[in-house]
Amino acid sequence: MKICNLLSILSIASAVCSAADDYKLGPDSHRHDDIPAGKVTKHRFIESKIYPGSERDYWIYVPAQYDGSKPACLMVFQDGQWYQNTGGHTRVPIVFDNLIHSREIPVTIGLFINPGLIPAAKEGTKPRRNRSFEYDTLNNKYARFLLEDMLPLLTRDFKITDDPEGRAICGISSGGICAWTVAWERPDAFRKVISYVGSFTNIRGGHNYPAIIRKTEHKPIRVFLQDGENDLDNLHGSWPLGNRQMAAALKFTGYDYKFVMGDGGHNGKHGGAIFPDMLRWLWRDYPKG
């Protein structure tokens, strides 16, 4: 009986996480001693005009090759803590070091932003978690937050390109649909998107994007979508179907897109493993300086 229980638990585990999902990070995601490392600094933002009362940590990555003589490209990451972590699923600072050094991507400053939290006022009460509100909502608010609240913090100290082709945005799950929403709302400011296991499902209406994309004049956005056959299927929708619908709508409307469907679950393993190649594809025709 106990063995049966264990077997059934194992089978559930494999169904949720998939039998495979054995993606590994490649050499581009490991540190090499002869390649100069950029600097990552941690900061806290507490004065949002767009999300009043919210507080969050953010990190800035500045590559060793940035000297201030000309504007750098920009790449923004939702759930910044995970992406800046050099032991995490994607290890962006290491990948950036390697691909900037090999001139496969331009000199790019990374901005890694955590979702907001409204701290509790009264003792014994809980903070309000703003992640879904900020990431899953289909409007221009998060784009405005980036442009009006966050970018001034960067341009104060660094030269950042105004060219929207030189600005990319990336996220996972709700952070993935958020990346799309930012470019969709403000293609004048961001035109390159990477989405890992993006939540193009009905958390707050994101399942509507494929239909909206098909009936809207083409926008100048380049997007890489990653998902897995064993991604979520829950009350909000089916992640694999949602991402397939997105890919079909992007194809129908003639977008510059790439869609990779792996066999993973709702995690960053596959996205992290192919992140260097996603960057190469995203920046393939951009001047590397």
Partner 1 sequence: MFTKAYWILGAGMFATCSISAQDMPLTQILIENEGWEKVVDGMKFCDACCTDSSGNFYFTDVAGGDGVKKVTHEGQVSDFITGVPGISGMQFGPRGKLYACQGRSRRIVALSPGKLPEIIVAEVRPNDLVITADGHLYFTATATRRVYHLNLNGGGNRLQVVATDIAKPNGIALSADEGTLLVSDHMDKEVWFFRIENDGTLGCRAPYASLRLSAENFPSKGDGADVDALGRYYVSSELGVQMFDPTGRMGGVILPPDPNKPLVSIVFSGAGLEYIYVANGDAVYRRRVKSRGTGR
What residues line the site for partner 1 (CB under 8 A)? 2, 5-6, 9-10, 13, 16-17, 51-54, 79, 118, 120-122, 124-126, 128-133, 136, 172-174, 199, 203-204, 232, 234-236, 265-269
| Beta carbon of residue 55, minimum distance to partner 1 (angstroms, whole number) | 11
Pairwise CA distance, residues 93 & 202, whole Å: 33
Q: Which alpha helices (H) appear in the chain, and where do they start and end?
A: 2-17, 80-84, 92-101, 131-136, 141-144, 151-155, 174-185, 209-214, 239-252, 269-282
Minimum distance, C-beta of residue 181 to partner 1, in the bound complex (Å): 15
Burial of 221 (0-12, 13-18, 19+ CB in 10 A): buried
Shortest Å distance, C-beta 286 to partner 1: 30
Residue 97 or 134: which CB sits closer to partner 1? 134
Cβ proximity to partner 1: between 167 and 266 the closer is 266
Nearer to partner 1, 93 or 206 (CB): 206
Tokens of 1: 């009986």
CA–CA–CA angle 38, 276, 29 (5° rounding):
60
Q: How many CB atoms lie within 10 A of CB 52?
A: 9
Write down the least CB distance from residue 143 to partner 1, Å. 17
Residue whose CB is less far from partner 1, 130 or 181: 130
Quote the DSSP letter at residue 148: I
CB nearer to partner 1: give 167 or 269: 269
CB of 9 to partner 1, least distance (A): 6
